[in-house]
Amino acid sequence: MKIKKLALVRHGESIWNRENRFTGWTDVDLTAEGVEESYRAGDMLREEGLTFDMAFTSYLKRAIKSLDCILDRMNLDWIPVEKSWRLNEKHYGALQGLNKGETADRYGGELVQLWRRSYNTPPEPLTEDDPRNPRFDIRYRDVPPDDLPLSESLKDTINRLMPYWNDTIFPSLSERDNILIVAHGNSLRGIVKHLKNISDDDIAGLNLPTAIPYIFEFDSDLKVVNDYFLGNPEEIEKMMKETASVR
């Protein structure tokens, strides 16, 4: 039986990850460590003997540049890459740019955790005239304006992600052997929730560390038969705890 593989990788550390700020759709770059850990992710995938026929990423440079680093280390710079705004991070609304720890001090840790990890509750939206409204950003000019968010819950993120998963990413697995998605903490949590049928409550407990490949194996009927992270389980556990906290 031919096993097909999907690798999910959250981008390497971004400048706002380092500064502990809510990022969402803000297009911040990688730190030097973020570049290094993305290269390391490429090494891990190569050493695992994996190769990919196609890759998908978001419209945000922290994911695009991480993907480039991974493909570079795998000598796969040539494979087709498709970008979609639907793989962007959850839109963090008016929280974007704020320090996560300071926001918890101001509003209380519980409310901040609700904004970060609840399934249904979006943060306060940006105002329509906020210069950060994605309608003012040329990269989204082909997206129907009503589809562009001013804030999102995980549920909203999944709702805009699933059409792309169902119409493009998942069908590509029928034609290809292995595919790679480099995206974001919350957009990838949406994909994992779907693939593992995780409940709305339990998905709050999944915290994906930066640049750690998460592999899903599919049988010939494209049913998930196995999933595992690459790397040292104890270190990954520690990184997940760090991702979960607001510091």
Ligand X SMILES: O=C(O)[C@@H](COP(=O)(O)O)OP(=O)(O)O
Catalytic: 110?
no
Catalytic residue among 37, 89, 152, 184: 89
Cα angle for residues 188, 17, 78 (degrees, 5° grid): 55
- Who contacts 236 (Cβ-Cβ below 8 Å, separation ≥6)? 209, 212, 229
CB of 24 to ligand X, least distance (A): 5
CB of 176 to ligand X, least distance (A): 25
Best CA proximity match to 147, nearest among 236, 85, 206, 67:
85
Query: Which residues face 215 on adjacent strands?
Result: 7, 228
Residue placing its CB nearer to ligand X in the complex, 151 or 186: 186
Residue placing its CB nearer to ligand X in the complex, 4 or 65: 65
Residue placing its CB nearer to ligand X in the complex, 167 or 200: 200
Residue placing its CB nearer to ligand X in the complex, 178 or 186: 186
CB of 152 to ligand X, least distance (A): 11
Q: How far apart are CA 39 and CA 144, in angstroms?
A: 35
- Looking from the CA of 246 toward its CB, the CA atoms found within 13 Å total 22
Catalytic: 194?
no
Nearest residue (beta carbon) to ligand X: 185
Residues that bind ligand X (CB under 6 A): 10, 14, 17, 22-24, 89, 92, 116, 184-186, 243
- Residue 169 DSSP symbol: I
Active site amino acids: 11, 89
